[in-house]
Amino acid sequence: MQILTIPTTPISGQKPGTSGLRKKTSVFQSRHYLENFAQSIIDATGGAERRTFVVGGDGRYFNDRAAQVILRMLAANGARRAIVGQGAVLSTPAASHLIRLNGTDGGFILSASHNPGGKDADFGLKFNMPNGGPAPEAVTEAIYARTQTITDYRVLEATDVDLAKIGEQELGKMQVSVVDPVADYAALMESLFDFPKMRTLFSKGFRMRFDAMCAVTGPYAVEILERRLGAAPGTVTHATPLPDFGGMHPDPNPTWAHELMAEMMDPGAPDFGAASDGDGDRNMVVGQGIYVSPSDSLAVLAANVHLAPAYRGGLKGIARSMPTSGAADRVAEALGVQAHETPTGWKFFGNLLDDGRATICGEESFGTGSDHVREKDGLWAVLLWLNILAERSETVQEIMKGHWSHFGRNYYSRHDYEALPTEVAATIMDGLRARLGDLPGTAVAGLTVEGADDFAYLDPVDGSRSTAQGLRLRFTDGSRCVLRASGTGTEGATLRLYLERFVPGPGGLDQEVQQALAPVIEAAEALTALKKLSGRNGPDVVT
């Protein structure tokens, strides 16, 4: 087998966003596109010589072909071993676990996460570090810099590896270990939670619905929920992963997981509902007749995590992304543990977890996780909820109400304006940014602006600084709104407006969310002119 060195030239736009490089599938399939980016990852992270990597993805269209290319490139670049999920499939948290479990030098994760999949949809690639977490900004910038100077890439001339067959194979001088994508991950979950107690819960007739949205979590959820915990067969729906996710938009939020929402709001609803996304790192949790916002879910999980065996010793700290509501901060305060506020992107939690400053992390974008891996983990969050439900013998509704009456309620919602023309989004962001200094003291819609800034983060562990992470407007009554451009879209620009209002209770804890937020929504429009300047009547997605 011959190692080929293929001359190439830089391709513009290979700049990783919030989580790796995401583009239209056809862009990834275009000449040298994948190869340039993969070689740039290899070059910018010190080469592949004698190293071991994990390779896998969410099974979307082009996943299998891209995995074969990356394997041939790793072999040509001198890698010692690649650990690959059977069929080139691995959920993102399972990939993170394999990287850590095997002490590897990192992993290539093929996914555009919650973005739709298919020939005309999205594809993505990201590199995770030896700690199992997404490459930090310094590394993604080095990768991007390399894409701008690349002159050639190396690839082995070889036939495909048989990725359907579990076991050892050789690709040139590289060992390829094809592994069961579910087994190690399921064992990890079993080591964290009280499976016997959860089995008892199901044996007493507890009913659950898990919507895998035709994405990667199906086989993981069937194995863990139905086979190991004894949930009724059929508990997991849309359980077979499909290259185009069956046309579903595998983003577990009330808009895209509407089938689950409808079932859970029905009088005959199961006791507990959950959904996961394309690559299995996101989760949405719903009780009978009650939707749990991701920010609240983080707070409730943090307040109750000691009920699960692996966390009995308590938490080192709680970390949340800046746009996530402050509900988790109140729990941190009550527990007397550190609270961290980071920019959006799971990569910012890595240092805090590695350094023992946080045990549990979460984001408003349906991400929750802990120090068991270095990615957010959809099924982990669902299992922790189940463990808590089994311990407390209360409904989701009772748990939420109890939490709010104890800590107060951070009403919270996110309004997304998707696929705006980039210049329109820039005008809106730049306009607000330019006025930040003048806004304090401004009275609008019955609220008064107390502070306004562009969020910047100083990493307490490595001292790196990240700027321009979202425009924050804080009001004197403690409410706030944040305006931020998404870094995961592939079409135009998506603007996210995050809205929050705190009600301490005891009264006012049962309001409809959008109604409770009405003054903040009105003030946000007056200050950002989002609807007016975008020409939209309202958001495309409300979470």
Decide if residue 325 touches ligand G16 (CB under 6 A): no
Nearest to 92 by CA among 219, 248, 256, 216: 216
Region 228-287 residues binding ligand G16, contact defined as CB under 6 A: 277, 281-282
- Amino acid identity at 432: L
Tell me whether residue 218 or residue 367 sits nearer to ligand G16 (CB atom): 367
Report in angstroms how near the CB of residue 344 gets to ligand G16 at its nearest.
Answer: 5
Q: Which two tokens stand for residue 74?
A: 């790793």
User: How far is residue 376's CA from residue 369's CA, in Å, rounded to a whole number?
Assistant: 4
Give the pair of three-digit tokens for residue 386: 């189940």
* Whether the Cβ atoms of residue 282 and residue 367 lie closer than 8 Å to each other: yes
Binding mask 112-131 for ligand G16 (x = CB under 6 A): -xx-----------------
Question: Rounded to the nearest whole angstrom, what is the least distance from the CB of residue 1 to ligand G16 in the complex?
Answer: 35
Q: Active-site residue 96, yes or no?
A: no
Which residues pair with residue 415 across a beta bridge? Answer: 497, 542
DSSP label of 8: -
Least separation in angstroms between CB 492 and ligand G16: 13
List, in sequence order, every beta strand (DSSP E) within 447-524.
Answer: 447-454, 457-458, 465-466, 471-475, 480-485, 493-503
Of 365, 387, 410, 413, the residue at the interface with ligand G16 (CB under 6 A) is 365
Give the nearest distance from C-beta 108 to ligand G16 in angstroms.
15
Strand partners, 295: none
Name beta bridge partners: 496. Answer: 416, 484
Give the C-alpha separation, 541 to 495, whole Å: 11
Q: How far is the CB of 375 from ligand G16 (least distance, A)?
A: 8
Question: Is 496 a residue that touches ligand G16 (CB under 6 A)?
Answer: yes
User: Does the protein bind ligand G16 through residue 346 (CB under 6 A)?
Assistant: yes
Single residue of 132, 172, 345, 362 touching ligand G16 by CB under 6 A:
345
- Give the pair of three-digit tokens for residue 425: 């989004």
Nearer to ligand G16, 90 or 388 (CB): 90
Query: Per rule CB under 6 A, is residue 338 in the interface with ligand G16?
Result: no
**Does 68 engage in binding with ligand G16 (CB under 6 A)?**
no
CA distances, 302 to each of 208, 307, 310, 339, 400 (Å): 22, 10, 13, 11, 13
Three-class SS state of 304: helix
Scored b (16 or more CB within 10 A) or e, 175-189 reads: ebbbbebbeebbebb
Check residue 387 for interaction with ligand G16 (CB under 6 A). Answer: no
Q: Which residues partner with 367 through β-bridges? A: 282, 363
Among the candidate windows 32-40, 295-303, 338-346, 500-508, which touches ligand G16 by CB under 6 A?
338-346
Which residue, 395, 378, 384, 373, is CA-closest to 287? 395
Q: Which of 91, 111, 113, 413 is the catalytic position?
A: 113
Residue 367 as a binder of ligand G16 (CB under 6 A): the answer is yes
Task: Return the number of the residue (335 or 424) whose C-beta is nearest ligand G16.
Answer: 424
Q: Which stretch binds ligand G16 (CB under 6 A): 197-205, 341-349, 352-360, 469-477?
A: 341-349
Q: Rounded to the nearest whole angstrom, what is the least distance from the CB of residue 84 to ligand G16 in the complex?
A: 21
How far is C-alpha 239 from the chain's CA centre?
20
By C-beta, is 114 or 154 nearer to ligand G16?
Answer: 114
Which of residues 19, 40, 128, 528 is near ligand G16 by CB under 6 A?
19
Q: In 325-395, which ranges are continuous DSSP H helix? A: 327-335, 350-354, 378-392
What is the footprint of ligand G16 within residues 423-452 (CB under 6 A)? none
Q: Tell me how far, at minimum, the Cβ of 488 lies from ligand G16, in Å.
A: 3
Residue 487 sits in the site that holds ligand G16 (CB under 6 A): yes
DSSP letter, residue 217: H
Closest by CA position to 116, among listed 530, 531, 490: 490
Comparison of 116 and 273: residue with beta carbon closer to ligand G16: 116
CB of 165 to ligand G16, least distance (A): 30
Q: For 132, left (φ over 0), alpha (ψ -120 to 50), or beta? A: left
Q: Does 291 bind ligand G16 (CB under 6 A)?
A: no
> Least distance (Å) from ligand G16 to the CB of residue 113?
3
Is the CB of 124 or the CB of 270 nearer to ligand G16? 124
Q: Which of 486, 505, 525, 529 binds ligand G16 (CB under 6 A)?
A: 486
Our CB check for ligand G16 shows the closer of 68 and 469 to be 469
User: Closest CB to ligand G16 among 386 and 483?
Assistant: 483
**CA distances in angstroms from 504 to 231, 292, 363, listed in the order given:** 38, 18, 22
**Which residue of 344, 359, 469, 543 would you call a contact of ligand G16, by CB under 6 A?**
344
Residue type, 524: A
Stretch that binds ligand G16, among 62-70, 170-178, 290-298, 482-490 (CB under 6 A): 482-490
Grouping H, G, I as helix, E, B as strand and the rest as coil, residue 109 is strand
471: its two tokens: 């425009």
Give the active site residues. Answer: 113
Q: Which residues make up the interface to ligand G16 (CB under 6 A)? A: 18-19, 113-114, 277, 281-282, 344-346, 363, 365, 367, 486-488, 496
